[in-house]
Amino acid sequence: MPPTHESAAAIEGGVRRRTLWLVFATILIDFVGFSVLIPVLPLYVARLGATSIEVGLILSLYAVAQLLFLPAWGWLSDRIGRRPVLLVSLGGTVVAFVLLAEAESVGAVYLARVLGGFFAASIGTAQAVVTDVTPPEERARGMGLIGAAFGLGFVLGNPIGGWLGAIEERLPFYAIAGLALANLLLAFWLLPESKPPRPGPMHWKGLLRSLVPAPLRLPFSFRRSKGRPEERRIPLYLYLFFHMFTAFAALEAMFSLYLNGRFAVGPLGVGILFGYIGLFIALTQGLVVGRLASRFGEARLVIAGLVAMGVGLFGVAAAPSYGWIVAIGPVVAFGNGIAFPTFTSLYSRACHADKAGEFLGDSQSMATAGRIVGPLWAGLAMGEIALAAPFWIAGVLMLAAAASFYALRGRLLDGGQL
């Protein structure tokens, strides 16, 4: 029989580890499913007659679907439980990738990617499961495991997509659908409910509110929390999520063009370098961040990681050769690997337990908004200012984020101490 609800206090030892690894697998499949498309999807939709603008729109629609529905999934998980939301997400991922594999028109690809973004939006719920089953002193390690899933998905997705796509162009999509189906079956039988359904009727106005993207709700959140410091933390954290991901998206979006334009590095070299950086992120988040957080504290790691990313981005912009990029990449990866999971851990502590899913969904919504806005300003800076301009600007933004976190520590942290 599939497991029923277990209270957070009862989820200990082997059950807790099993739950965390199932969440890890869920996020890994989501992100492999995203990154596996990078070398395959443009050629696939070009065969269907898509223009380059339509290819870009396909990628944007996926991000927009995530932006719209991340908080809604979190809101729902707070009320009906985490387990059913994650099971529906995995089932929907199977359907979305099968539809993509069977698509015979650009419109069908649009539909498949919108559905993919809609169901992948459960990342906030997965983070809420980690919050449910880990005590505060182990939270950074749990969030680091999620970050490791992102990094490993990035490392694996690109080469898997290219390899399977060389065999048959639809094979990567069927492979991800198969992995999601296997994970769905494992989760159905092994994943416990980490949060009981909330008693009483659901107030659907909350769902409608959650469908308003977090970036649009942020000014009103500041207004509502005026005079209540414990609630004012949430919009401040949400802004910083947007700020940091807007900066980091410049590297994700413009790195290939920069390496090709400045050092004549082709797609294979770019892919290998991305995998190399992703491997360092995965190792840092999976093996290092928990130990460092225990020794130095999460707040110090946030600042150190943001400064490391800022310095690393300056190094990318100033690098005189490709060899320097290879040497600088781990600095950026290490900064990313310690800053993002510890910042998320601190934010999760600021979230009220009965709204953790919704608030963590909001944070992912702000991160997704950053991934939409970041490539736009970075592309404009590269085209209108200079080839390296996105990385100089992103470095400044990362250092500004570190300075803002330090200046706002009195509001963001209990006691205001690092």
Q: Indicate if the pLDDT at residue 159 is higher than 80.
A: no
Task: With cut-offs at 50, 70 and 90, classify the pLDDT of residue 33.
Answer: confident
Instruction: Indicate whether 340 and 399 sit together in one domain.
Output: yes
- Give me the mean pLDDT over the 236-250 stretch: 88
What pLDDT is recorded for position 34? Answer: 74
Domain limits for position 216: 212-418
What pLDDT is recorded for position 10? Answer: 47
Q: Among residues of the chain, what percentage have pLDDT more than 70?
A: 79
For the record, the structure tokens of 343 come out as 């910042």
Rounded Cα–Cα distance for residues 205 and 186 (Å): 34
Task: With cut-offs at 50, 70 and 90, classify the pLDDT of residue 152.
Answer: confident
> In this structure, is residue 367 part of a structural domain?
yes
SS3 51: coil
Say what the pTM is.
0.66
Instruction: Give the number of C-alpha atoms closer than 13 A to the C-alpha of residue 65, restricted to the C-beta side.
Output: 20
What pLDDT is recorded for position 49? Answer: 80
Long-range contacts of 195-202 (CB under 8 A, 24+ apart): 195/8, 195/77, 195/78, 195/81, 195/82, 195/128, 195/132, 195/357, 196/5, 196/7, 196/81, 197/79, 197/80, 197/81, 198/78, 198/79, 198/80, 198/354, 202/79
For 337-382, the pLDDT digits (tens) are 999 889 988 888 777 655 666 677 678 778 878 877 787 788 778 7
> In this structure, is residue 206 part of a structural domain?
no
- Give me the mean pLDDT over the 309-325 stretch: 94
Domain boundary among 138, 170, 196: 196
Q: Indicate if the pLDDT at residue 73 is higher than 70.
A: yes
Q: Among residues of the chain, what percentage have pLDDT more than 90?
A: 20
What's the 3-state SS for 82-118? Answer: HHHHHHHHHHHHHHHHHHHHHCCCHHHHHHHHHHHHH
What pLDDT is recorded for position 148? Answer: 75
- Give me the mean pLDDT over the 272-299 stretch: 84
Q: Indicate if the pLDDT at residue 134 is higher than 60.
A: yes
**Highest mean pLDDT of the ranges 38-52, 136-150, 203-217, 319-333:** 319-333
What pLDDT is recorded for position 268? Answer: 65
What pLDDT is recorded for position 91? Answer: 92
Which residues are CB-neighbours of 247 under 8 A, at least 6 positions away?
A: 309, 313, 370, 374, 394, 397, 398, 401
- Give me the mean pLDDT over the 223-233 stretch: 57
Look at residues 82, 91, 94 and name the one whose alpha carbon lies nearest to residue 19. Answer: 82
What pLDDT is recorded for position 378? Answer: 81
Rounded Cα–Cα distance for residues 24 and 311 (Å): 30
What pLDDT is recorded for position 314? Answer: 96
Which residues are CB-neighbours of 284 under 8 A, at least 6 positions away?
A: 151, 333, 334, 336, 337, 338
Cβ 39 vs Cβ 165: under 8 Å: yes
For the chain, the average pLDDT equals 79
What pLDDT is recorded for position 339? Answer: 93
What pLDDT is recorded for position 212? Answer: 64
Rounded Cα–Cα distance for residues 378 and 375 (Å): 5
Instruction: Indicate whether 234 and 319 sit together in one domain.
Output: yes
Domain boundary among 170, 196, 222: 196
Instruction: Indicate whether 3 and 102 sit together in one domain.
Output: yes
For the record, the structure tokens of 331 come out as 């600095």
Q: Please, what's the b/e burial string for 53-85 (b: 16 or more CB within 10 A of its CB; e: otherwise)?
A: eebebbbbbbbbbbbbbbbbbbbbbbbbbbbeb
What phi and psi, each to the nearest 5 degrees, are found at residue 385?
Answer: -110, -70
Task: With cut-offs at 50, 70 and 90, classify the pLDDT of residue 200.
Answer: low
Which residues are CB-neighbours of 361 under 8 A, at least 6 positions away?
A: 70, 71, 72, 73, 74, 75, 121, 124, 125, 210
Residue showing tokens 């898997």: 160
CATH number where 149 lies:
1.20.1250.20
Instruction: Indicate whether 185 and 270 sit together in one domain.
Output: no
Instruction: Indicate whether 148 and 286 sit together in one domain.
Output: no
> In this structure, is residue 207 part of a structural domain?
no
Instruction: Indicate whether 409 and 274 sit together in one domain.
Output: yes
Q: Which residue has the higher pLDDT, 400 or 187?
A: 400
In sequence order, the β-bridge partners of residue 107 are none
Q: Indicate if the pLDDT at residue 211 is higher than 70.
A: no
DSSP 241-293: HHHHHHHHHHHHHHHHHHHHHHH---HHHHHHHHHHHHHHHHHIIIIIHHHHH
- Give me the mean pLDDT over the 125-138 stretch: 78
Instruction: Indicate whether 181 and 218 sit together in one domain.
Output: no
Domain count, the chain: 2
Q: Indicate if the pLDDT at residue 1 is higher than 50.
A: no
> In this structure, is residue 202 part of a structural domain?
no
Q: Which residue has the higher pLDDT, 255 or 5?
A: 255
> In this structure, is residue 85 part of a structural domain?
yes
- Give me the mean pLDDT over the 389-402 stretch: 95
- Find the angle CA(398)-CA(302)-CA(242) to the nearest 5 degrees: 50
Task: With cut-offs at 50, 70 and 90, classify the pLDDT of residue 250.
Answer: confident
Instruction: Indicate whether 232 and 348 sit together in one domain.
Output: yes
- Give me the mean pLDDT over the 396-404 stretch: 96
Q: Which residue has the higher pLDDT, 19 or 213?
A: 19
> In this structure, is residue 201 part of a structural domain?
no
Instruction: Indicate whether 154 and 224 sit together in one domain.
Output: no
Number of neighbours of residue 158 by Cβ within 10 angstroms: 24
Domain boundary among 196, 226, 251: 196
What pLDDT is recorded for position 7? Answer: 45
Instruction: Indicate whether 170 and 267 sit together in one domain.
Output: no
Rounded Cα–Cα distance for residues 284 and 358 (Å): 28
Instruction: Indicate whether 191 and 273 sit together in one domain.
Output: no
Rounded Cα–Cα distance for residues 168 and 160 (Å): 12
Rounded Cα–Cα distance for residues 176 and 280 (Å): 24
> In this structure, is residue 415 part of a structural domain?
yes
Residue showing tokens 């970050």: 147
> In this structure, is residue 86 part of a structural domain?
yes
Task: With cut-offs at 50, 70 and 90, classify the pLDDT of residue 8.
Answer: very low
For the record, the structure tokens of 159 come out as 């080469």
Polymer length in residues for the chain: 418
Q: Which residue has the higher pLDDT, 148 or 386?
A: 386
For the record, the structure tokens of 109 come out as 């690809």
**Of the listed ranges 68-77, 116-125, 213-222, 241-250, the one predicted with least confidence:** 213-222
Q: Which residue has the higher pLDDT, 174 or 150?
A: 174
What pLDDT is recorded for position 2? Answer: 53
Instruction: Indicate whether 36 and 116 sit together in one domain.
Output: yes
Rounded Cα–Cα distance for residues 328 and 277 (Å): 10
**Of the listed ranges 54-58, 72-76, 99-103, 274-278, the one predicted with least confidence:** 54-58
Look at residues 399, 349, 358, 417 and name the one whose alpha carbon lies nearest to residue 78. Answer: 358
What pLDDT is recorded for position 274? Answer: 76
